[in-house]
């Protein structure tokens, strides 16, 4: 008996890296899995059906249930076909895990519009596409007692603002907003929505020089397999209490992010005066900003 026995899941980006680890473990815990992956290079080019088929084959060879899908999550119709293929193959859909992603890193002043669009298309629009079609299916079922799950992958790059990844950071924080919106919208249909901020050695993290240096000594701890336990739990029927949250996981740690909130405010009886508002803001906010201001501004 596994903790996902009888559940049906779509895992995007499941041909490699973290997605492959999630798909394999889901199947090992009893889920039927649609292994969805366009099989592209890190920059989103050169699609190849091989990675999705290989992971699906590995799962079925070890006695699990899986089918492969090599559609593009950024394509609205392909995403709809992906959701339909899960229902067609296994009779229902319980969980979507949006892991698919690409990178095209540049500093903001060097970024071509097409590199912006490509990254936003796969991460943000791709996550929207799957969430939308899954939500439309769950809405038809109208079952508030269901245990449907949206699990979206965000990144510390967006949550903290990686300087060389403006496209990726924007898309990944956009995914958090989308997740909050789904969490607030879909409870009546038995759906929870949460985001995962993972940390693992994959081809994606290898593109970061600091990560490459650490890879040797910390490779075991930072295996993509170590991202999976928290994802499995959230995908299970037991996690109804968790909704609209960002969970950080990797290595031997699992953390919970706070939700952005106003931490101090100044209030006036009428419009603020341009001449005096700066002093008020400095007094109230500067001690709270700490080291996050522009270098040399303190």
* Chain residues in the site for ligand NAD (CB under 6 A): 12-13, 15-19, 37-40, 42, 44, 51, 72-74, 99-102, 122, 126, 153, 155, 198-200, 202-205
Is the torsion defined by CA of 26, 31, 32, 36 positive or negative?
negative
Catalytic status, residue 172: yes
Residue closer to ligand NAD (CB basis): 40 or 86: 40
Residue closer to ligand NAD (CB basis): 102 or 150: 102
Residue in 21, 155, 157, 205 annotated catalytic: 155
Residue closer to ligand NAD (CB basis): 146 or 156: 156
Least separation in angstroms between CB 187 and ligand NAD: 25
The secondary structure of the chain, three-state, reads: CCCCCCCEEEEECCCCHHHHHHHHHHHHCCCEEEEECCCCCCCCCCCCCHHHHHHHHHHHHCCCEEEEECCCCCCHHHHHHHHHHHHHHHCCCCEEEECCCCCCCCCHHHCCHHHHHHHHHHHHHHHHHHHHHHHHHHHHHCCCCCCEEEEEECCHHHHHCCCCCHHHHHHHHHHHHHHHHHHHHCHHHCEEEEEEEEECCCCCHHHCHHHHHHHHHHCCCCCHHHHHHHHHHHHCHHHCCCCCCEEEEECCEEEECCCCCCCCCCCCCCCCCHHHHHHHHHHHHHHHHHHHCCCCCC
Least separation in angstroms between CB 75 and ligand NAD: 8
Residue closer to ligand NAD (CB basis): 65 or 76: 76
Catalytic status, residue 168: yes
Residue closer to ligand NAD (CB basis): 203 or 286: 203
Residue in 172, 180, 197, 236 annotated catalytic: 172
Catalytic status, residue 181: no
Cβ-closest position to ligand NAD: 17
Q: Which residues are catalytic?
A: 155, 168, 172
């Amino acid at each position: 008996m596994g903790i996902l026995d009888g559940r049906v899941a779509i895992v995007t980006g499941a041909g490699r890296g973290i997605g492959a680890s999630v798909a394999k473990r889901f199947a090992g815990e009893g889920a039927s899995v649609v292994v969805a992956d366009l099989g592209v290079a890190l920059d989103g080019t050169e699609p190849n059906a091989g990675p999705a088929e290989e992971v699906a084959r590995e799962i079925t060879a070890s006695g699990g249930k899986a089918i492969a899908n090599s559609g593009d999550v950024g394509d609205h119709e392909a995403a709809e076909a992906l959701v339909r293929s899960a229902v067609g193959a296994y009779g229902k859909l319980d969980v979507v895990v949006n892991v698919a992603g690409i990178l095209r890193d540049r500093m903001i002043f060097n970024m071509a519009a097409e590199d912006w669009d490509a990254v936003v298309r796969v991460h943000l629009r791709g996550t929207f596409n799957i969430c939308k079609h899954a939500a439309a299916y769950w809405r038809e079922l109208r079952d508030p007692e269901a245990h449907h799950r949206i699990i979206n992958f965000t990144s510390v790059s967006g949550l903290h603002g990686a300087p060389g990844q403006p496209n990726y950071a924007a898309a990944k924080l956009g995914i958090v907003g989308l997740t909050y919106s789904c969490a607030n919208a879909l409870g009546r249909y038995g759906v929870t929505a949460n985001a995962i901020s993972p940390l693992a050695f994959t081809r994606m993290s290898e593109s970061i020089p600091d990560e490459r240096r650490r890879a040797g000594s910390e490779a075991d701890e930072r295996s993509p397999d170590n991202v999976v336990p928290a994802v499995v739990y959230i995908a299970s029927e037991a996690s109804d209490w968790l909704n609209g949250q960002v969970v950080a996981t990797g290595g031997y740690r699992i953390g919970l992010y706070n939700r952005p909130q106003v931490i101090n405010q100044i209030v006036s009886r009428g419009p603020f005066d341009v001449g005096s508002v700066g002093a008020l803001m400095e007094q109230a906010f500067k001690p709270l900003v700490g080291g996050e201001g522009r270098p040399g501004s303190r």
